[in-house]
Amino acid sequence: MNDAGPGAGSTQTWQDEVTRDLLNLGGRLALLVRGEGSHVWDADGTRYLDFLGGIAVNALGHAHPVFVEAVSRQAAILAHVSNYFATPQQLELAARLKRLAGTGEHGHVFFANSGSEANETAIKLARLHGRKTGKTTIVSLNGAFHGRTMGSLSLTPKPAYQDPFRPLLPGVAHIDPTLEALEAAIDDTVAALVVEPIQGEAGVVPLPDGFLRRARELTTAHGALLIVDEVQTGVGRTGEWFAFQREGILPDAMSLAKGIAAGFPLGALVTFGDSDLFYPGTHNSTFGGNPLATSVGSAVLTEIETSGLLANVNERGAQLRAAVAGMPLVTGTRGAGLLIGVTLSALVAAEVRDAAQRRGLIVNAPTSDVIRLAPAYTIGDAEVDEFTSVFAAALAEVAASSPRSEADRSGTDPKDHA
């Protein structure tokens, strides 16, 4: 297969090859073959403005020189050595994450390959804490998405995801993301509370004001861990290094992935206190923290830190919010930085997504009435202007059609993914 597309000289399409060769686990919206900056190209040569960003992964956009140089340089030196050895790259990234997160000298880092794996590590931390303290329950929030492995799926209370795989992990309770539910749930039986500062899968829904602060108070009072899932919100996505920093608290642990290496597979669990619960044999990862991944991670964090990208995230996020205000169907925005949910007046998010893609703009519809934007931190006026023009046209097209009534719609489009 090449840039000209599959099946050259035959009637076979790339969709046929997807059906033939890949597990049936979701739609494929296009066959993408190349990327540069905030744009990608499909096999037919069509250019798209990418405002999905690999689902909040491509912090530096596509083929950023810093990313390319880091991968190339480290691949020529040392790529993988297994978890029997430490490497300078691993130690450098761990120290940098501790500094940026403010863990203090007692913090520790475990490297994995994905957000789900980072959250599996967090679940084990909670279980070890529960074994030590006699506590039995892990609490997560309705609307949460923590991953699709069996443990992380147990923290993700969405029937469509969970039901085919029951029974799931025992000892997990789910509560509404409200202060009232939080007050009622956290007691002396709880080993850990796991929360996302902004629920991306639920439609970019921030926690209520004061929720994280009260969660910190209650978990401390009852001897439970507060674990913050920053897989989507972390590493600058919301305009702070980590979204919990907006609340002036410190969690006991946080999980990371997505933007940490801007497209190279890497996840991490960062702990903030004395981490005497894990010991050799309780957890590990063959590929986790290899020198190639961690070298790229350090290069990405350096670029974000030294190029003023956090400021750009905040500035461009404000621009985008202002740009969509008053567009057809738009009722408002929510989120922070460059993690933005555009709320719609009708359940037409999938139609808006498709209309935008036909015009050369990639966005995401995590729910039936929300469009999620997660572009690269590097976007500028040109990208904002292009987005504004195309998105407005897509909204106008859908608004001019005759949408089905809400009674005819339910849930999310099956092609949408967290």
Q: Which residues are catalytic?
A: 145, 229, 258
Distance CA(119)–CA(156), nearest Å, equals 11
- Residue 256, helix vs strand vs coil: strand
Q: What is 269-305 written as a DSSP string?
A: EEE-S---S--TTS---SSTT-HHHHHHHHHHHHHHH
Find the helix or strand (DSSP H, E) in which 172 lies: strand 172-175
Cα distances (Å, whole numbers) of residue 223 to 137, 180, 252, 258, 415: 12, 20, 11, 30, 41
Q: Which two tokens stand for residue 213?
A: 């602060």
Q: What is 78-116 written as a DSSP string?
A: -----TTS--HHHHHHHHHHHHHHT--TT-EEEEESSHH
On whether the CB atoms of residues 294 and 90 are closer than 8 A, the answer is yes
Distance CA(40)–CA(42), nearest Å, equals 7
CA angle, residues 142, 148, 153, in degrees to nearest 5: 40
Identity of the residue numbered 141: L
Helices 291-306 + 88-101 axis angle, to 10: 40
Closest of 47, 83, 111 to residue 260, by C-alpha: 111
Q: CB atoms < 10 A from the CB of 253, how many? A: 27
